[in-house]
Amino acid sequence: MFASTSALRQPARTTPNLVLRTIFSVFGFIHFLCLGALFMEVTAADWWMCGILFVVRMFGVTGGYHRYFAHRTYKTGRVFQFLLAFLAQTSSQKGALWWAAHHRGHHKHSDTEQDTHSPIQDGFFYSHVGWMWHEGTSETQYDRIRDFAKYPELVWLNRFWVVPPIVLGTCVYLALGWSGLFVGFFLSTVVLWHATFAINSLAHVLGTRPYQSGDDSRNNFVLALLTLGEGWHNNHHYYQASTRQGFHWWQVDITYYTLKALSWIGLVWDLREPPAEVVSGARTLSHVKRLDGMKQEREAALPIGSSVSAPSPLLAARISKNVA
């Protein structure tokens, strides 16, 4: 259920300076703005707006940032491609090209020292939010995203990534006033952030591992519901090319259902399904072999009798209780 003790080490990249930069950033300030709702009369319309924007923008993150730009698991036209990027960026998680490029790097080095955000390597805080303020992560790695960097409109939107959230926030304010802005926009944005970031942090520590994916990715039903299907994370790390991440009928994947509906009206097409031998676990995939090889090389380089640093006492206690 939990990551093994031998796989975890102390969060070396989580420094006090990094924590302070994260807290005293625009990211931290927007958390503070949510408190403004305590000083005004909040209406039912504000809460409806909060819920609707959470769900719609979560689809932008999962169906846009992730399954389209990062993994290209389906196809669409140039106009809808731009609209997907715009919708995703209303979540205020930077540009679609920035997001997808970093995510591709995560899969290439998943849960190794080169991983962009691994809780196994660098602890919860760093993998959840801290990595975004680490040196070198602010720039878009265009060499990893050449397939989409050829579209000037996407490059422009990636450069001016704040335009979509500003447009959305302004529209919410004009429709519902200050209470709508604080609850409908800012609060839903903060909840959306942490639900998304939980896949990077918690979905590599909490849950089940039906597939040997070469890393510590987990399937987590609660996270799957919260993120419209992204919680089937071990499935996804095992076979990244599939549009459908809930491999079985009972694995709820609302993002896939939405994309399937969009395919019926011709907005998207060529949705990829996991082959039967992948679902059964019969196929050993090349990226799994590569990650396993990297881990074996790393463990072989350790001095005899040494081990990777232990996790925090609290996490260690939980591990010893839940892992046989």
Helix (H, G, I), strand (E, B) or coil at 268: strand
Evaluate if residue 304 carries a pLDDT over 90: no
Residue that the structure tokens 């050449």 belong to: 146
Q: What is the rounded CA–CA span in Å between residue 163 and residue 168?
A: 9
Write the DSSP symbol of residue 144: G
Evaluate if residue 312 carries a pLDDT over 60: no
Residue that the structure tokens 């196809």 belong to: 75
Q: Given this model, what pLDDT does residue 293 score?
A: 55
Q: Given this model, what pLDDT does residue 140 score?
A: 94
Q: Are 198 and 186 in contact (CB under 8 A)?
A: no
Q: What is the rounded CA–CA span in Å between residue 264 and residue 59?
A: 17
What is the widest separation between alpha-carbon atoms in the chain?
65
Q: Given this model, what pLDDT does residue 11 score?
A: 54
Evaluate if residue 10 carries a pLDDT over 50: no
Q: How far apart are the first and last CA of the chain?
A: 9
Nearest to 65 by CA among 148, 184, 180: 148
pLDDT digits (tens, 9 = 90+) for 39-95: 899 999 999 999 999 999 999 999 999 999 999 999 999 999 999 999 999 999 999
> Chain-wide mean pLDDT for the chain?
87
Q: What percent of the chain has pLDDT over 70?
A: 84
Q: Are 254 and 228 in contact (CB under 8 A)?
A: yes
Question: Cβ of 114: how many Cβ atoms within 10 Å?
Answer: 13
Average pLDDT over residues 193-209: 96
